Structure 1
Amino acid sequence: MSLLFRFFAVSLLIAGSSIAVTAWLATQATTGSIRQEQGEALATDASIYDRLLGYAAANPDWSGVESTVDTIARETGRRIALTAWDRKTIADSGDAGSPQLPVNPTVVVDPLNVNPVLKPVEVDEIDPRAVGPFKLTQEESDKLRARAQAVADCDGRTVVVESSGRPVLRGQSQSRRPTSMDCAVDELLYEPTPTEQKASAELIELLRDCLGRTPNVELPPFLPWIATTKPDWQRSPWAEASPEEAECLASARREQLAPYVAPPALLFLTAPTGAEPPTIDLSTAGVTRITWTALGILALAGLASWLTANHLVRPIRALTAATRRMGAGDREVRVTAAKGEIGGLARSFNTMSAKLADTERQRQALVGDVAHELRTPLSNVTGWLEAAQDGVAATDQRLVALLLEESLVLQRLVDDLHDLAQADAGTLRLHPEPIDAADVVEQVVAAHATNREVTVSARIEGELFLVADPVRLRQAVENLVTNAIRYTPAGGTVSVEGRLDQGVVIEVVDTGVGIAPDDLPHLFDRFWRADKSRSRTTGGSGLGLAITRHLVEAHGGTVSVSSEPGAGTTFRITLPVP
């Protein structure tokens, strides 16, 4: 788990706990006072809200609500303001001098999403006065009302007309005569009209569309709980319906009713002056509880922070101790890698420590190799000079030539070390220019044409134009050819081939002794030679191939080798072309 995620999780836990506990305490401390001091105001607010809900349920917009708002404001002594979601005023009982409306509205007036606190509803949180397409025509309503009145005249009940225009019989029958004989039930009062049948069909289609889009719900051929023989089946509680079906029915009803009701509006209820209700002070007991809870949360936060910090500091301390040991000269020190960012830092430290240890070993090996390579020619020069001084050797041309050869060996070694130092420091300079690599190959081969023991030849396929430093490229090829001649016995051949193959390819192929597979990975390491005896018969300082690799890579190319013992060796240089 990452460090960032751990800190975030702990902070989120503390913040969530703080919010939850504070909200709970605030609710507990203020609920009683609110109920006591604002009970009457809440009832008034609920009445205002209900009347405006009724208007919204019966009208498709708010265009005529101004008079309703003014009437309610006069009756309740409250300032009532309705605005759209963008705070554009729909209706306001206040005058031009009234204060600005509060930031937060009292409630949202939406007949399709009734506030259950101010107006509890049985189903859907949809105002039952929102009937939409279920509203009967005048002719249907008149016919049903006449039938209902006939029954009411017989049994003494009262006819009440609902928002949809459908009459309903209320109260208890006052007739003492048998209903079956004198006050027969009119079944047409309880059957849906054509208007209601059409609206039900549309609603069922919307319901089925919703269920079809609901994941993990299989759409049955019919829904047994839909009783289309009842005019108000869609507003009855559906005990047989699944939660998904009930949710889809509510969604379908809102979709069907939306064009027939007013859009949601923000309702602001304030005093006639626009002032906010007085602030309710918390009791002393409530303040004490909040104080102790805050102290508890602080203690929890401190404990969590201490545990997290302790968990983080432990590996950091281990890293600190390891770096001190490394500074004291211990290059083999390692630390245990944990998880997350600290673990990544530990792994990076281990990699750095291993790299430093390897570099130290290479440095020690380099010092030994340089000392060895310098000792042999210097010993020869010193020996011959002492012999000449003692009169043992004559100071003739042969001695001068021998000393010159040894000094040239020293010069080549120093030059090779200088080239490697420049490559390591990134200061190896190139002077690239357009050249033909075939010319470089021919120059190198011509330089070895006088070799009588090994035959050196060139084979060029086409023109090998590229941009490169001709001097450095010749140096690289020369190193490979010299190395091939050195390990090819008398009578053997060395062939330098050039061609185009996804770039300029220069291959040096010899028929020498070959290289063992275990030695191939080390071939381009400095001072490494397959002949561990460092015999002077093979010569060389062990730096030529390392220099070749740096020169080729400086040109953006690659150098590789393939070999089989006893079957010769092939070195390949691949250089990019423009």
Structure 2
Amino acid sequence: MSGRIPLRKRLLVRLLIASGLIAVCSVAATAWLAVETTTRALREEQGQVLADDMDVLSRLSGYAAAHPDWTGVEKTVRELSAKTGRRIALTTADRTPIADSAPPGTSLPRSAAATVDPLRTDTFSERGAQLGGTDPRVVGPYRLTAGERTKLDALARERQHCFAQFGIDTSLTRTPSGRPVLTQPEGSADLGYVPDACADGRLNTPMPTEEEALIALQKEARGCLTRAGLEPDMPLALGADLTPAGSLQTTAIAPAFVKAGEGKAWRAAQACLDDARRAQLDPYVAPAAELFLGGGGDAPAVRFDMSPANKTKVIGTAGLVLAVTVAVTAVVATRLVRPLRALTEAAQQPPDRHVRVPVTTRDETGILAAAFNELTERRERLEAQRRAMVSDIAHELRSPLTNIRGWLEVTRDGVVDPDPALLASLHDEALVLQRVIDDLRDLADADAGTLRLHPEPVRCDELLDQVAAAHRVAADAAGVSLRTAVDGTPWLNADPVRMRQALGNLVSNALRHTPAGGTVTLAARGDGDSVLLEVADTGSGMAPDDLAHVFDRFWRAEKSRSRRTGGSGLGLPIVRHLVAAHGGTAEVTSEPGTGSVFTLRLPGTAGQDEPPGEPTASVVPGGSDRSDSAPAERGTPSPRRQRGRSGT
């Protein structure tokens, strides 16, 4: 069988392929997740490093802006190194050390990370730097005296109070030079609306120190402004710029002297002022220095780069995972396929061998093996029943046929005359054959699901009376009392002919096993939505082991009983099939020496609105209390249907 299965269709190959795909997907997903997680972590680390670098550069630029030289910067360098956990070194342009957090003699990286020059800051990396490229914290000659600060503070509070009267909330911010500036809560120095009462201009007027510095700046820029074709003696004003780093002071040309749209002239004037301001502030700041960070400022950006060794590890790990997955799958698949192969081999054995397979597990395969064994047992039992049934049918048909053949042969040879008694005997034997054939046909229809029913409302008391009347003669001949008992007026929706056939088989069976003087009772009563029809006798009863086989075909409680004394063994199976066709069940209870009770449970139906009365009883002659009338013509079964419908 396995040789005819294509390789790709085999269970073991499918499991191996599935496990391999799962392993590959798992390894790929894990590798992708690891790369993504590592890359994200490295990017976050890189961002943190860049932020730390900017903080270091900002602190050192601020130190240079406030000191004319680098004396004392060693302490600041060591603090920054301890905070960031990195090496920080400052040198001159020719790499002469100024301050270094590393031990003396430690070599410097190949290139500097940045140049610390407060007069020429990197406006793209230095937070708070001005567009002019000068660190706003360089104050120089613009630093206000204590008296000037006090005077300006008073003017600032006065203007703040004025703004408050008009519902404008402001806050006081101080620039590095010491000048106070009023700002809105969001940090902008440009108030959108200034009431006329508050616009006295005193707070924005330069103080003497600032006037002196502005005059010096103007003189410094005069030559450049002249060359640019601008008025060299135009007055200068002070402007304020508030950034997230704080309030910063800057100078600007008075806008009245540069018209709107004269961008080229404004840019030329601003360049002259920037150069002049750097020359003016140069004596107040430390000289430019080179900044070295960590292991080298020229190191490339941190990124995920898998080395050949790591690639080998990943490939080796993936191969190991695949190998383990395939090995485990092969072991599991082998354990799964082995019992399936055993089942296949057992199923391919000849049917008469009834091979069984061992059940070694409790999983789905073990359940399948157990079900296969149960199926084999049922098939063996059915085969035995089939052989017994064929033998019983042959026996049932052989006897009457032998009798008919024998009498016909002796009549043909002239040994016996064909008198009425002989013809009556031959007729009886023909009726026996007809009953067996009818029973077999009914069972065949029931097995094939073609048993026809013609249901109609049936009153149970009338049904029982008709069955009792049909067996009145047989009960009288056997000396058995036949009684009926009905509780209320239950109704059935059933085929009356088939129900009389079923009850008739039970009554015939009861009369056969009840000795003279006994009683057979037909009873009907309601039980919820069901109707119970019972046939009870006071006969010999049955052993408990026999109850499970009562409804089996050709089964007799006493194996020695013949067809004429024990029936054909088909009556009770027919009863079970007829009741099942009506949606009901057939049950039996019995005790040896006490009798048996056959109970038919059928779905009930609504009947006429008659008040329930006391259970009534009637006795058929042969121990009867009253004589039952003959059944109605519509429901009277034919003689063929009423004779011989017995079971065990």
**What TM-score range do you get, normalising by the shorter chain?**
0.5 to 0.7
Give the 3 Å change call, closer, same or farther, for CA 285–499 of structure 1 in structure 2: closer
Could you say which residue in structure 2 is the equivalent of 1:432? 455
Give yes or no for the alignment of 1:291 onto 2:291.
Answer: no
Q: Relative to structure 1, is the Cα distance of residues 464 and 40 closer, same or farther in structure 2, using a 3 angstrom cutoff?
A: closer
Shift of 1:396: 1.3
Alignment-derived partner of residue 367 in structure 2:
344
2:551: which partner in 1?
A: 524
String of CA shifts for 1:86-129, please: whole Å, max 9, x gaps. Answer: xxxxxxxxxxxxxxxxxxxxxxxxxxxxxxxxxxxxxxxxxxxx
Cα contact 1:338–1:346 (8 A) shared by 2: no
Shift, 1:536, TM fit: 4.3
Q: CA deviation at 1:515?
A: 2.1
Matched, 1:480 2:486: no
Q: Aligned-pair distance for 1:429?
A: 2.3
Distance (Å, rounded) in 2 between the aligned partners of 1:572 and 1:299: 67
- Name the CA distance, whole Å, in 2 between partners of 1:396 and 1:40: 125
Query: Do the aligned partners of 1:18 and 1:297 also contact (CA within 8 Å) in 2?
Result: no
In 2, distance between residues paired with 1:507 and 1:40?
A: 93
Instruction: Give the Cα–Cα distance (whole angstroms) in 2 for the partners of residues 515 and 568 of structure 1.
Output: 8
Residues 10 and 304 of structure 1 are in contact (CA less than 8 Å); yes or no, is this contact kept in structure 2? Answer: no
8 Å Cα contact 1:337/1:347 also seen in 2: no
Trace 1:272-287 onto structure 2 (pairs within 5 A): 280-287=304-311
What SS does structure 2 have at the residue aligned with 1:456? strand
Q: Tell me the residue number matched to 1:511.
A: 538
Alpha-carbon distance in 2 for matches of 1:467, 1:26: 75
- The reply to whether residue 331 of structure 1 matches residue 331 of structure 2 is no
- Is 2:481 the counterpart of 1:455? yes
Q: Deviations over 1:493-544 (max 9, x none)?
A: 3221222233222221222222233322211111111121232442521110
In structure 2, C-alpha distance between the alignment counterparts of 1:518 and 1:408, rounded to whole Å: 33
- Aligned CA-pair RMSD: 3.8
**Distance change in 2, residues 1:45/1:318 (3 Å):** farther
Q: Counterparts of 2:401 and 2:366 in 1: how far apart (Å)?
A: 52
> What is the match of residue 563 of structure 1?
590
- The answer as to 2:598 corresponding to 1:574 is no
Residues paired across the two proteins, number: 351
Corresponding residue SS for 1:529:
coil
Unaligned runs of 5+ in 2: 1-11, 57-121, 128-300, 606-648
**Equivalent position to 1:493, from 516, 519, 544:** 519
User: Following the alignment from structure 2 to structure 1, what is the Cα–Cα distance between the partners of residues 431 and 437?
Assistant: 10
How far did 1:291 drift? 2.9
Aligned match for 2:50, one of 29, 44, 49: 44
Instruction: Tell me which structure has the larger Cα radius of gyration.
Output: 2
1:300 to 317, 320, 324: 324
Whole-angstrom CA distance in 1 between matches of 2:509 and 2:522: 13
Partner of 2:386: 363
The correspondence of residues 5-20 of structure 1 with structure 2, limited to 5 A, is: none
CA distance in 2, matches of 1:554, 1:49: 94
Which residue in the other structure is 1:86 paired with? none
Paired letter, 1:415:
D
User: What secondary structure does 1:310 align onto?
Assistant: helix
- How far off is 1:567 after superposition? 2.5
Residue 554 of structure 2 contacts residue 569 of structure 2 at CA under 8 Å; is this kept in 1? yes
Alpha carbons of structure 1 residues 339 and 395: separation in structure 2 relative to 1, 3 Å: same
Counterpart of 2:407 (choices 367, 375, 384) is 384
The whole-number CA distance in structure 2 between the counterparts of 1:40 and 1:500 is: 88
Name the counterpart of 1:76: 125
Q: Is the 8 A contact 1:25 1:290 kept in 2?
A: no
The CA distance in 1 between the partners of 2:125 and 2:52, in whole Å, is 12
Contact 1:419 1:428 in 2 (8 A): yes
Q: CA deviation at 1:548?
A: 0.5
- 1-structure distance, mates of 2:392, 2:540: 24
Alpha-carbon distance in 2 for matches of 1:48, 1:397 = 134
2:491 to 465, 477, 482: 465
- Report the CA distance between 1:281 and its aligned residue: 4.4
> AA paired with 2:336?
L
Aligned to 2:575: 548
Give the structure 2 partner of residue 403 of structure 1.
426
**How far apart are the structure 1 equivalents of 2:582 and 2:426?**
37
Would you say 1:414 and 2:437 are equivalent positions? Answer: yes
TM-score, normalising length from structure 2? Answer: 0.49
1:311 to 321, 330, 335: 335
Match for residue 393 of structure 1? 416
Amino acid at match of 1:321: E
Distance (whole Å) between structure 2 residues aligned to residue 344 and residue 76 of structure 1: 73
Q: CA deviation at 1:413?
A: 0.7
Distance 2:493 2:546 in 1: 33
**Is the 8 Å Cα contact of residues 484 and 522 (structure 2) preserved in structure 1?**
yes
Structure 1 residue 488, shift from structure 2 partner: 1.9
Report the CA distance shift for 1:290/1:507 in structure 2 as closer, same or farther (over 3 A): closer
Query: How far does residue 278 in structure 1 lie from its aligned partner after superposition?
Result: 9.3
Please, what TM-score do these two structures have when normalized by structure 1?
A: 0.54
Q: What residue ranges of structure 1 are gaps of 5+ in the alignment?
A: 51-72, 79-276
Secondary structure (helix, strand or coil) at the match of 2:466 reads helix
What is the deviation of 1:480? Answer: 0.4
8 Å CA contact 2:16, 2:326 repeated in 1 = no
Q: 2:525 is aligned with what amino acid?
A: R
Q: What is the identity, as a one-letter code, of the residue corresponding to 1:463?
A: T
| Number of the residue aligned with 2:376 | 353
Residue number in structure 2 paired with 1:146: none
Asked if the contact 2:556–2:566 (Cα under 8 Å) also holds between the matched residues in 1, the reply is no
Q: Distance in 1 between matches of 2:379 and 2:456?
A: 38
CA pair 22-460 structure 1, distance change in 2 beyond 3 A? closer
Per-residue CA deviation, residues 235-284 of structure 1 (Å, 9 max, x unaligned), is xxxxxxxxxxxxxxxxxxxxxxxxxxxxxxxxxxxxxxxxxx89754333
Q: Is the aligned partner of 1:444 residue 2:467?
A: yes
Provide closer, same or farther for how the CA distance between residues 566 and 310 of structure 1 changes in structure 2, counting only shifts above 3 A: closer
Cα distance between partner residues in 2 of 1:385 and 1:42: 120
C-alpha spacing 1:397/1:310, structure 2 compared with 1 (3 Å): same
CA distance in 1, matches of 2:521, 2:45: 106
Q: Deviation of residue 75 (structure 1)?
A: 4.9
State the identity %. Answer: 46
Report the CA distance between 1:481 and its aligned residue.
Answer: 0.6
Which stretch has the larger CA shift, 554-563 or 401-410?
Answer: 554-563
CA distance in 2, matches of 1:443, 1:390: 46
Name the CA distance, whole Å, in 2 between partners of 1:39 and 1:339. 55
